[in-house]
Structure 1
Amino acid sequence: MVTRRRVLATGLTTVAAAAGTTAALRPMLTATSGSAAVIADDKAAAVGRPDQEGRPHQHGVGAEGATPPLFDEVYRDRRIQGFPSDTEEGVDLYIDGRPLELMRRVDGSWISVANHFQPYLTPLATARGAVDVIGRADLSMDSGHHH
């Protein structure tokens, strides 16, 4: 039997659960992907997107078509680059000039094809995690989605 007390109790429980979930997810949902990223120095040479063979295009500062990276670093002897993108994820990742597929999860964290089971807070952390997983192996040049 549906009573007024049961309806109110269910409603309050639902509100409490939603509020708790919001409070728990707030840090991840409000974090920006650029907060932990290493921003390229304006005085350094800007590096463009890699070409079809995975070789990075080298552009000088101010060169036409140069896309400055969101981050560009060497981690465990692997070059990690992230560029702004028009994709749903908003960033393209490259490890040694080869594309790394990146996916944004509903909770705001990131995963890569190198490790679907470990979420990270930023694209840079995701790329570092991928380097940890793949070691010295090369990524495939095929960057198609397989889902």
Structure 2
Amino acid sequence: MDTQTTEKRLKSRNIQPTAMRLLVLDFLIRNRSAVSLSDLEESFDRSDRTTLYRTLKTFLEHGLVHQIHDESGTAKYALCAEDCTCSYPDDLHLHFYCLSCENTFCFPEMGIPQFNLPENFTPSHGNFVISGQCPSCPASSLQ
């Protein structure tokens, strides 16, 4: 994706474009699966963890990414659709965690069922993850 388009995407979420934010957004766009802070650290070896964390936090606060908690025990981040408002339950969707390669995939077109919670329970966000085997991993690698 070209820099102008990436800048426009940041500005559409009221995020000031900086060199690091542009690089991280481009990285998220190019990845098929959700990424963790550690994934970013490995890819941006000249950047410090704090800068990368603050970039992700800014993206999260402005609804550019959403956070996923899967079986890996590490928070992962995936790019939101351009029309996403990150509102519960409207933008809640299915995630798939591969037990073999440990990648997490978003399926925004697959909403989750509506739940009727008991009285006095007020949800603000949710996380729906199914675990199993992705098509890139051999079936024999599951334990």
Which of structures 1 and 2 has the larger relative contact order (alpha carbons within 8 angstroms, sep 6+)?
2
Please identify which structure carries the higher strand content: 1
TM-score normalised over the length of structure 1: 0.28
TM-score normalised over the length of structure 2: 0.28
